[in-house]
Amino acid sequence: MPRDEDLLARLREGDDEAFAAFVDKYHTRLVRLACSMVSSRAVAEEVVQDTWLAVVRGIERFEGRSSLRTWLFRICVNRARSTAGRESRSSPLDPHGAGADGLAFATDGSWASPLQPWADVVDDRLEAAVLADVAKQAIDRLPEAQRQVVTLRDLEGLTSAEVCDVLSITETNQRVLLHRGRNRIRSVLGCRLEGG
């Protein structure tokens, strides 16, 4: 897979193969991100199509102040926010709400106590696949802001600074949302592992 830096020059030249490679690299990831912000996969696909159109129209104006990936994700987030309008699945952020106890995470964002690897708890690969599906469903049920941060950090691998840039949030807010989201997912998985 070509590096983003290599694709950028070719994209600016209007290279169709570079654009196809760029789409292949990011389309699924953008759909996953858009799904975290809108009500259905069909709407997410429309958001991503709008994102690709914006990339084609705006690649000449890309100034490189962020990575190409961050710029692309920011476009997708902005398109999804515009599309979602009043249709929001978020709940108000309560500083004393679920996951705010901070017991599962250290102040640097790492787990406060090491997690037991799934392989030690789950012998059967089929059960692991079921748990992966349970985790995906748990992510889908997170409040919108938590879902966005967890998707970008844990599924897309963006750094905390990139997430703050893409979502236009503070580092503290990003950290709180990530902790709460991870805590809720961990709780759901814990219940499943305990047979609940």
CATH number of the domain residue 126 falls in: 1.10.10.10
Write 130-138 long-range contacts (CB < 8 A, 24+): 130/192, 131/189, 131/192, 131/193, 134/188, 134/189, 134/192, 135/185, 135/188, 135/189, 137/188, 138/184, 138/185, 138/188, 138/189
**43 lies in a domain?**
yes
Mark whether 53 and 125 lie in a shared domain: no
How far is it, in rounded angstroms, from Cα 25 to Cα 17?
12
How far is it, in rounded angstroms, from Cα 194 to Cα 160?
32
Q: By the 8 A CB rule, do 139 and 188 touch?
A: no
> What is the number of other CB atoms lying within 10 angstroms of the CB of residue 104?
17
Name residue 105's beta-bridge partners: 111
User: Which of residues 68, 84, 100 is at a domain's end?
Assistant: 84
Dump pLDDT digits (tens) for 137-195: 999 999 999 999 999 999 899 999 999 999 999 999 999 999 999 999 988 888 877 76
User: Which of residues 62, 84, 106 is at a domain's end?
Assistant: 84
User: Could you tell me which residues come within 8 angstroms of residue 74 by beta carbon, excluding any fewer than 6 positions away?
Assistant: 66, 165, 166
Phi and psi at residue 21, to the nearest 5° = -65, -40
User: Which of residues 84, 109, 129 is at a domain's end?
Assistant: 84
Domain span at residue 160 reads 118-193
What is this structure's pTM? 0.66
Dump pLDDT digits (tens) for 22-51: 999 999 999 999 998 888 889 999 999 999
Mark whether 10 and 74 lie in a shared domain: yes
Q: What is the mean pLDDT of residues 113-118?
A: 58
Of the pLDDT bands very low, low, confident and very high (cuts 50, 70, 90), residue 55 is: very high
pLDDT value, residue 3 = 87
Q: Provide the number of structural domains found in the chain.
A: 2
Mark whether 70 and 138 lie in a shared domain: no
